[in-house]
Amino acid sequence: MRKILFFDVRDNEEEYLKQNCREKNFVCGSGCECVLLPQRLDSQTVITEEMASSNIISCFTFSRVGEDVLKKFPNLKLIALRSVGYNHIDIEYCKSNGISVVNSFGYGNVTVAEFAFALIFDVRRKVSRAYMNLKNEHLDRDSYMGFELFNSTIGIIGTGAIGREVARIASGIGMNILAYDIYPNEELSKKYGVKYVDLEELLKQSDVVSLHSPLTKDNFHLIDDEKLRLMKPSAIIINTARGELIDTKALYDALSEGRLFGAGLDVLESENILTQPQKQWDFDYLDSETVRQTLINERLLKLRNVVITPHSAFNTQEAQDRILKITLDNINSFFKGQIKNSVY
């Protein structure tokens, strides 16, 4: 019997998966066992002999699936990601061992773009700070001075599906739009007046910088100390993509020294520790770099000009339904001998 392991399954996903894995249009049907597991898949996950026989695993971005994990699944043929990003998977090992990796491309374009603007409004107008002060009976209206978005300039790094949605929203607000992408989109320029420039020019000219690039080995710490020093002191930076695109220590320095107005971050380097507090004292799980990044993240959380959320930009009902539908469609196609949404 074919076996599919779904990791990172939340309560509100369980019923959808249970129902749809039994549907007659799901090729696997009665000849397939779908196992739904709430835990993440990483080096500490206990893999039983029965689990190890699985042909397919599905996981979210919170899992960390390296070579040590993959070797525990000798019959694995497909990893069906419930995400677009795939930097949490050892792609080179998968390539070398005939394991297909597919993602949920297109599930959250609008969802993530809207969340980016939620962060932009919050940071530029200090919404969270004003709310918390009011809640604690401490009013300081002078400290809530912000900046309008109308007629200001947004710089979009990465104009893929999500970046294009950000451009659409920015255009509606009346912002000037700069963009940086190694593959400029001429249609976007015509439709929303997007002007493509090099990265340095974008950072110098933008009032808001929003990151929407996938994480690759070539753009790790794309935004480092040198790049941050190009930005205006009145500018903000928004990251709903991947934490490793920004050198967190350099960002902390810029924010704490007043070289940037603020930041809105839905992703961080080594964010797993913040979202799994029980791991903070698990010395089998931690290494020196993870400890370092976690300490920096903790310091970032204490800054008044930063809004940090726990990797939740994807989290709307509509996006969740699309993720699950695309994931099951990808698995269905695999059983039919087709590969949809391959990441390599």
Rounded Cα gap, residues 280 and 291, in angstroms: 8
Rounded Cα gap, residues 80 and 21, in angstroms: 14
Rounded Cα gap, residues 317 and 15, in angstroms: 14
Rounded Cα gap, residues 261 and 152, in angstroms: 14
Q: For residue 180, give the 3-state DSSP assignment.
A: strand
Has 271 been annotated as catalytic?
A: yes
Catalytic residue among 88, 165, 271, 322: 271
For residue 10, give both structure tokens: 């939340």
Q: Which residue has the tokens 């007046």?
A: 193
Has 186 been annotated as catalytic?
A: no
Catalytic residue among 242, 244, 269, 322: 242
Q: Any residues with CB less than 8 A from the CB of 154 and at least 6 apart, and which?
A: 166, 170, 175, 176, 177, 178, 206, 207, 208, 209, 210
The residues with which 342 forms a beta bridge, in sequence order, are 102
Q: Are 88 and 66 in contact (CB under 8 A)?
A: no
For residue 72, give both structure tokens: 């525990």
203: phi then psi, degrees, rounded to nearest 5: -65, -35
Nearest to 263 by CA among 203, 299, 221, 305: 305
Rounded Cα gap, residues 295 and 291, in angstroms: 6
Catalytic residue among 129, 212, 311, 322: 311
Rounded Cα gap, residues 343 and 94, in angstroms: 11
Has 242 been annotated as catalytic?
A: yes
Plot region of 258 (φ>0 → left; ψ -120 to 50 → alpha; else → beta): left
Catalytic residue positions, numbered: 242, 271, 311
